[in-house]
Amino acid sequence: MRAVVLRRWGWIHKWSSLVCTLFILLLCLTGLPLIFSHEIDHLTGAEIEAPPMPAGTPRVSVDQVAAEAVRAYPGLVPLYFFAEEDAPDLWYVKLDTRVDTDESQSLLIMSDARTAEVVGAPNFDEGFMSVMYRLHVDLYAGLPGKLFLGAMGLLLMVAIVSGVVLYAPFMRKLGFAEVRRERAPRTRWLDLHNLLGIVTLVWALAVGFTGVINTWADLIFKGWQADQMRALQAGETRVLLGADAPGAPAVDGSLQAAVDRVLAAAPGMAVAMIAYPGTLRATPEHVAVILSGDTPLTSRLTQALLVDPTSGEVLEASARPWYVTALQLSEPLHFGDYGGLPLKVLWALLDILTIVVLGSGLYLWLKRGPAEPRA
């Protein structure tokens, strides 16, 4: 590679890294406990569990759960129901003052799916894990904070790619994984920076880029909603279950009947989420029911169906667009929560190695000599 080209890549690597390093360090450090948030909640007793009841106790209707939640929290309305795979007897219910808020003041509670009783509200707003979460996700600054961290993530992508370009010229005289440990500390750390950077490359690119995509989640769902609305207005919908379909659960205006009709239209799928009309995930007239399959991949790649609670008609307004697929695949690849505890431990170790890459990069810049202005 010609010296001038090399110098340009060096400049790109230096500045893209310098601008984002402190923020990425913060993301790596706060992300470390977040990898194990489930386990930490479990150990500290912060996890809320449904009271034990005989297996197979029937569930009450979601309308009853909603009514009980509103009774417990007067002045709020339900927006979403979420089902968690590992807590089948609980509904997570998100409440807010209106259905069309930005959810910055929303409240998440947990209700017993068998009695409708409110079991508790996970305390997301206090404590160590909450601080870690907010620092990791939005720096306490809402959507602008998310997008800012996303921009830092994009700079990290630039830093990684330029680092790969610079890897070859630095390794010309060295074998793979060779560390000149008897040389000056700066040389030793340069070798370690190159080694750790190149072996964590794919993981860092995957977690970094999926993190960037996650910062766009709000915008992605807004885009999908607009897509669905456009498809509805243009009549480009696919009717999965007509209003007068024989044998389908009867329409009675209730949310439960609407959900039952969706399940009748999509056999083999389970409810992952129910969105009330008017919320970000639904339309003003339809309930959206987000369904998930039962394999590791299809449980992430959800299908959204719309149901008119008054007519009972079940529609698919638009098949899941590619950008929603990208977002849904981005979540597990960012969180590392799809392969049990061993994968989480590997995620943590790769995170620590990345911290060493960032730290050594900073050190190499601080200790730069006049002879090596590039590094």
Partner 1 sequence: MMRIWVWPVIVALVSTAGLIAGLVSEGLGDWLSWFALGVPVAIGCHGLARGRAVKRPQRSVAAKPLDASAPHTTDRG
Binding piece for partner 1, criterion CB under 8 A, among 5-13, 192-200, 242-250, 306-314: 192-200
Of these, 203, 209, 216, 224, which contacts partner 1 (CB under 8 A)?
A: 203
Work out whether 342 is an interface residue with partner 1 (CB under 8 A): yes
Work out whether 45 is an interface residue with partner 1 (CB under 8 A): no
Least distance in angstroms from the C-beta of 16 to partner 1: 20
Work out whether 284 is an interface residue with partner 1 (CB under 8 A): no
Residues of 254-292 as b/e, b for ≥16 C-beta within 10 angstroms? Answer: bbbbbbbbbbbbbeebebbbbbbbebbbbbeebbbbbbb
Which CB sits closer to partner 1, 104 or 295?
295
Work out whether 195 is an interface residue with partner 1 (CB under 8 A): yes
Binding piece for partner 1, criterion CB under 8 A, among 16-24, 58-66, 151-159, 163-171: 163-171
- At residue 87, φ and ψ (nearest 5 deg) are -135, 70
Least distance in angstroms from the C-beta of 197 to partner 1: 10
Of 314, 306, 240, give the one whose Cα is nearest residue 279.
Answer: 306
Quick check: 156 and 140 in contact, CB under 8 A?
Answer: no
Work out whether 176 is an interface residue with partner 1 (CB under 8 A): yes
Of 340, 315, 335, 20, give the one whose Cα is nearest residue 151.
Answer: 20
Q: Provide the β-strand partners of residue 96.
A: 77
Q: Return the sign of the alpha-carbon dihedral for residues 52, 54, 58, 60.
A: negative
Least distance in angstroms from the C-beta of 81 to partner 1: 26
Least distance in angstroms from the C-beta of 134 to partner 1: 27
Axis crossing angle, helix 217-233 with helix 201-215, rounded to the nearest 10:
60
Least distance in angstroms from the C-beta of 303 to partner 1: 18
Least distance in angstroms from the C-beta of 356 to partner 1: 7
Tokens of 15: 């500045």
Q: What's the N-to-C CA distance of the chain in angstroms? A: 16
Quick check: 29 and 355 in contact, CB under 8 A?
Answer: yes
Least distance in angstroms from the C-beta of 361 to partner 1: 15
Of these, 99, 107, 198, 245, which contacts partner 1 (CB under 8 A)?
A: 198
Work out whether 196 is an interface residue with partner 1 (CB under 8 A): yes
Binding piece for partner 1, criterion CB under 8 A, among 133-141, 236-244, 262-270, 344-352: 344-352
Least distance in angstroms from the C-beta of 245 to partner 1: 34
Of 367, 359, 350, 23, give the one whose Cα is nearest residue 193.
Answer: 359
Q: What does the DSSP assignment read for 143-185?
A: HHHHHHHHHHHHHHHHHHHHHHHHHHHHHTTS-TT---TTS-H
Footprint on residues 74-103 left by partner 1 (CB under 8 A)? none
245/307 Cα distance (integer angstroms)? 13
Of these, 219, 356, 362, 375, which contacts partner 1 (CB under 8 A)?
A: 356
In this structure, how many other beta carbons lie within 10 angstroms of the beta carbon of residue 341? 11
- Contacts for 285 with CB less than 8 Å, ≥ 6 apart: 277, 308
Binding piece for partner 1, criterion CB under 8 A, among 61-69, 128-136, 140-148, 184-192: 184-192
Work out whether 160 is an interface residue with partner 1 (CB under 8 A): no
Question: Which residues are near partner 1 by CB under 8 A?
Answer: 167-168, 171-173, 175-183, 185, 188, 191-192, 195-196, 198-203, 206, 295-297, 300, 329, 332-333, 338-340, 342-343, 346, 349-350, 353, 356
